[in-house]
Amino acid sequence: MNSKIIVFTTVFLIAVCEKSDIEISLTKSGSIWKGLEISSTIEAQGQKNVDLSKWSGYHQKSMEERYEVLSDYLKSKVSQRDLEMDSATANEMIENCIGVLGLPIGIVPTLVMNNKHYVVPLATEEPSIIAACSSICKLISSSATHKGFVAVSTDKNVMIGQIQLLVQDPLETIPKVVHFIHDKRQEYVDTANAHFCESMHKRGGGVVDLVCKIIEPKAMTEKRSPYLCVHVYMDVCEAMGANAINHVCENLSDLIFADLSTTDFGSRVRVGIRILSNLSIYRRSKAAFRIPLRNLAWKGADGKEVASKILDAYHFACDDVFRACTHNKGVMNGIDSVCIALGQDYRAIEASAHAFASLKDRDRAYQPMTHYTIDEKTQELVGELELPVAVGTKGGSLQTHPGYRFTHQLLGNPSAKTIGEILCCIGLAQNFGALRALATEGIQAGHMRLQARNIALAAKVPIPNLSSCVNFMISKNSFDTKTALEFLAQKQSKHTPVATTTTITTTTTTVCTPQHTNCLDKIDEIIFLANSFFFLKKKKEQLNFLKYEAMQYVFVTIFLSKKKKENGNLERFS
Helix axes 481-493, 443-458, angle to 10 degrees: 50
**Confidence at residue 431, expressed as pLDDT on a 0 to 100 scale:** 97
Verify that 291 and 429 share a domain, yes or no. yes
> Quick check: 244 and 196 in contact, CB under 8 A?
no
Residue 574 within any structural domain of the chain: no
Residue 138 within any structural domain of the chain: yes
**Sign of CA pseudo-dihedral 39, 45, 48, 52:** negative
Active site residues: 126, 329, 345, 447
Q: Assign 107 to helix, strand or coil.
A: strand
Verify that 404 and 300 share a domain, yes or no. yes
Whether the pLDDT of residue 504 is over 50: the answer is no
Q: Assign 33 to helix, strand or coil.
A: coil
Going by the DSSP 8-state scheme, the letter that residue 394 receives in this structure is: B
pTM tops 0.85, yes or no: no
Residue 573 within any structural domain of the chain: no
Neighbour count for residue 187 (Cβ, 10 Å): 11
Quote the CA–CA distance of 44 and 247 in Å, as a whole number. Answer: 40
Verify that 168 and 262 share a domain, yes or no. yes
Pick the last residue of a domain from 246, 277, 308: 277
**Confidence at residue 362, expressed as pLDDT on a 0 to 100 scale:** 60
567: Cβ–Cβ under 8 A, 6 or more apart, which residues? Answer: none
Q: Which helix or strand (DSSP H or E) is residue 509 part of?
A: strand 508-511
What CATH number should be reported for the domain holding residue 475? 1.10.8
Residue 142 within any structural domain of the chain: yes
Distance of CA 325 to the CA centre of its chain: 17
Domain of 410 in residue numbering reads as 39-154+282-441
SS3 content of the chain, % helix, strand, coil (to 5): 50, 15, 30
Q: HSE on the CB side for 427, CA within 13 Å?
A: 33
Verify that 172 and 228 share a domain, yes or no. yes
What CATH number should be reported for the domain holding residue 343? 3.90.770.10
Verify that 404 and 504 share a domain, yes or no. no
Verify that 230 and 362 share a domain, yes or no. no
Residue 488 within any structural domain of the chain: yes
Question: What are the DSSP calls for 113-136, one per residue?
Answer: ETTEEEEEEEE-S-TTHHHHHHHH
**Confidence at residue 94, expressed as pLDDT on a 0 to 100 scale:** 87
**Confidence at residue 553, expressed as pLDDT on a 0 to 100 scale:** 60
**Confidence at residue 445, expressed as pLDDT on a 0 to 100 scale:** 60
Residue 174 within any structural domain of the chain: yes
Helix axes 170-183, 242-260, angle to 10 degrees: 110
Verify that 431 and 507 share a domain, yes or no. no
Going by the DSSP 8-state scheme, the letter that residue 99 receives in this structure is: -
Pick the last residue of a domain from 433, 458, 493: 493
User: Region 30-58: what's the mean pLDDT?
Assistant: 64
> Quick check: 551 and 527 in contact, CB under 8 A?
no
- β-pairing, 284-292 vs 206-215, is unpaired
Q: Is 16 exposed, middle or buried (0-12, 13-18, 19+ CB in 10 A)?
A: middle
Pick the last residue of a domain from 277, 310, 340: 277
Verify that 419 and 517 share a domain, yes or no. no
**Tens of pLDDT, residues 433-486:** 999 999 887 655 666 666 777 788 888 888 888 888 888 888 888 888 888 888
Q: Is 266 exposed, middle or buried (0-12, 13-18, 19+ CB in 10 A)?
A: middle
Whether the pLDDT of residue 198 is over 50: the answer is yes
**Confidence at residue 466, expressed as pLDDT on a 0 to 100 scale:** 81
Verify that 204 and 99 share a domain, yes or no. no
Verify that 190 and 115 share a domain, yes or no. no
What CATH number should be reported for the domain holding residue 172? 3.30.70.420
Q: How many domains does the chain have?
A: 4
Question: How far from 521 is each of 207, 503, 525, 528, 562, CA to CA, in Å?
Answer: 61, 19, 9, 15, 20
Nearest to 536 by CA among 524, 523, 547, 525: 547
User: Region 149-177: what's the mean pLDDT?
Assistant: 96
**Tens of pLDDT, residues 261-296:** 999 999 999 999 999 999 999 999 999 999 999 999
Whether the pLDDT of residue 28 is over 60: the answer is no
Residue 196 within any structural domain of the chain: yes
**Tens of pLDDT, residues 520-551:** 444 444 444 545 444 454 454 445 444 555 56
Neighbour count for residue 334 (Cβ, 10 Å): 29
User: Region 98-111: what's the mean pLDDT?
Assistant: 93
Q: Assign 271 to helix, strand or coil.
A: strand
**Confidence at residue 554, expressed as pLDDT on a 0 to 100 scale:** 61
Verify that 295 and 424 share a domain, yes or no. yes
Residue 250 within any structural domain of the chain: yes
Higher pLDDT, 451 or 169: 169
**Confidence at residue 149, expressed as pLDDT on a 0 to 100 scale:** 96
Whether the pLDDT of residue 511 is over 90: the answer is no
Verify that 97 and 117 share a domain, yes or no. yes
**Confidence at residue 340, expressed as pLDDT on a 0 to 100 scale:** 96
